[in-house]
Amino acid sequence: MHRRQKPSAPEHKRDLAAHGGALSISHNDTRSFFNFSQLVLSAGHLKPPPVLKHSKITYFEVEILDMQSKKQICIVDKVPPSSTLLDVKHKFHKACPQWYPSRVGLQLERNGPYLKDSINIQSLAVSSIITLYFTDLGQQVSWTTFFLTEYTGPLLIYLLFYVRLSTIYDQVESMKNFRHPAVHLACFCHCLHYIRRLLETLFVHKFSGGHTPLKNMIKGCAFYWGFTSWIAYYINHPQYTPPSFGYRQVFFAALSFLMCEAGNHFINVALAHQIYSGLKACFPSPTYNPFTWLFLLVSCPNYTYEVGSWISFTVMTQTLPAGIFAFLMVIQMSLWAQKKHKMYLKRFYPEVRRKAAMIPIVF
One-letter amino acid identity for 235?
A: I
Helix (H, G, I), strand (E, B) or coil at 319: coil
Output the pLDDT for position 178: 83
Residues 6+ apart with CB under 8 A from 24: 16, 17
Output the pLDDT for position 355: 85
Output the pLDDT for position 16: 40
Q: Distance of alpha carbon 27 from its chain centroid, rounded? A: 74
Output the pLDDT for position 202: 94
DSSP 185-239: HHHHHHHHHHHHHHHHHHHT---SS-EEEHHHHHHHHHHHHHHHHHHHHHHTSTT
Output the pLDDT for position 149: 97
Q: Work out the angle between the directed axes of helices 181-203 and 301-317 (0-180°, nearest 10).
A: 160
- Please tell me the pTM assigned to this model: 0.78
Output the pLDDT for position 182: 96
Burial class (CB in 10 A: 0-12, 13-18, 19+), 48: exposed
pLDDT along the chain (363 residues), means of 10: 46 46 46 51 48 56 92 91 92 92 92 89 87 93 95 97 89 79 97 98 84 93 98 95 95 98 96 74 82 92 97 98 98 94 83 82 57
Largest alpha-carbon pair distance within the chain? 161
Output the pLDDT for position 320: 97
- Domains, in order of start, for the chain: 60-138 (3.10.20.90), 141-198+207-241 (no CATH), 243-362 (no CATH)
Output the pLDDT for position 278: 61
One-letter amino acid identity for 268?
A: N
Output the pLDDT for position 24: 43
Output the pLDDT for position 171: 79
Query: What are the phi and psi torsion angles at 75 (to 5°)?
Result: -125, 120
Output the pLDDT for position 279: 61
